A = this chain, B = another copy of it.
Amino acid sequence: MPRSRPSAKEKLLDAALATIRAKGYSATTVDDLCAAAGVTKGAFFHHFASKEALAVAAADHWSETTGALFAGAPYHDHADPLDRVLAYIDFRGSLMGGDPAAFTCLVGTMVQETYGSFPAIREACAASIFGHAATLEADIAEAMADRGIEADWTPQSLAAHTQAVLQGAFILAKAKDGPQIAIESVRHLKRYVTLLFETPQSKAQTS
């Protein structure tokens, strides 16, 4: 792993995370990124074939960065799988504070702007979101098995739902320009998961 001083490529990727989270993909110019990274345009197009290619690389970089954060987070330490899921939700809530640009999701922001126009970016964002969701499925499945729950929903669908709540919470936080409303939605999510696993036989069915 060559990590002497950060190369132009690494600086550009880090700058992309910060800048695109704050301004969005379309409004972020190549010059913005070069200025934020402290490199020149030549360096940019030496490492990335296009602005679109940088966005794909940034989504992958985001997956790696956040993947490492969650892999090392303490919520995995609980013995009970349901406790791990609930602690994951708490952990997500604990990350919410300060400026929305600092705690919201790069790929959720990017996919909104690009899904119709840049399929490659959309796919990279989808891979990031659902790849992360997949890390929850085993714990959810184990918790269901533990408690003998037979439901009309799957671990995959509940994992996806947690990401929907988080992404939606980020939008509300941006609209309100503060984290409080997002934290409240995360509380609702925790309450939902708690109720799901409390309710005997999962008698709550939906149409």
Interface positions of A (Cβ within 8 A of B): 22-27, 90, 100-101, 107-109, 111-117, 122, 125-126, 129-130, 153, 157-158, 160-161, 163-169, 171-172, 174-177, 181-182, 184-185, 187-188, 190-192, 194-196, 198-199, 204, 206-207
Contacts and interface: CB of A to CB of B under 8 A. Distances in A.
A25 B51 CA distance: 18
Nearest to A126: B175
8 contacts: A24-B114, A108-B171, A122-B174, A161-B184, A161-B185, A164-B165, A187-B206, A194-B206
A106 to B, nearest CB: 11
Contact of A126 (B108, B122, B176): B176
A93 to B, nearest CB: 9
A13 B184 CA distance: 34
A117 B23 contact: yes
Contacts of A199: 195, 198-199
A191 to B, nearest CB: 5
A35 to B, nearest CB: 16
Contacts of A100: 115-116
Nearest to A127: B175
A195 B204 contact: yes
Given A112-B24, A116-B101, A188-B157, A164 B175 contact: no
Contacts of A190: 206-207
Given A116-B23, A187-B153, A204-B195, A163 B174 contact: no
Nearest to A26: B26
A174 B112 CA distance: 7
A138 B24 CA distance: 36
Contacts of A187: 153, 206
Contact of A204 (B90, B171, B191, B207): B191
Contact of A169 (B109, B122, B168, B206): B168
